[in-house]
Amino acid sequence: MGIHERLENIEKILEDKNEEKPKKFKLPFFKKVSAGKKRKNYVTLLKINENGGIDFKKIQISEQAFIEEGIPRIGSAEYILHWKKNPFIILPSWSTKPFSPSEQYEKSLNDGSNTKGYKILMSKMLSEQVGAKKQMGSMIKWILGIGLVGIVAYAFLGGG
């Protein structure tokens, strides 16, 4: 292995390292809830402000409620989400109720905007599409078989 080949290998390695990788979302370090704080009912609060900005805070839930900006808010188990083993609440600043995945799921079912039905329809469409291809494949096999039998019969009857 010559010097030129080694330099090319080094350049390839450097180019691979310089490729941009998508950054993963990480919570701010001081906003994560430790195991001891979890036992004391602390959660990470993601507060959405009216202007679209977000703030992270650690809050303690007591008696299924917490106080944010002097306003009591609901903090029952149905509103607590988990992200990488970290309890999490998403709270719009204009609402006393945090984001609830179960309520949003029911609402999407009622609105007809749920993707669950689309997944079922797509799987049904794909299964029918594959079935149609199988029928065409068997039809082509029959045509080729009949053609082959005809050629063989012609060869025997034609005396060749």
- Domain range annotation of the chain: 29-106, 115-158
Give the pLDDT confidence of 33-76 residue by residue, as tens digits.
777 777 788 888 888 888 888 888 888 888 888 888 888 888 88
Which pLDDT score, from 0 to 100, does residue 131 have? 52
Question: Given pLDDT bands bounded at 50, 70 and 90, which one contains residue 135?
Answer: low
Contact call for residues 74 and 68 (beta carbons, < 8 A): no
Give the pLDDT confidence of 63-117 residue by residue, as tens digits.
888 888 888 888 888 888 888 888 888 888 888 788 887 887 788 778 777 777 6
104 phi/psi in degrees, rounded to 5: -65, -35
Distance CA 79, CA 101 (A): 7
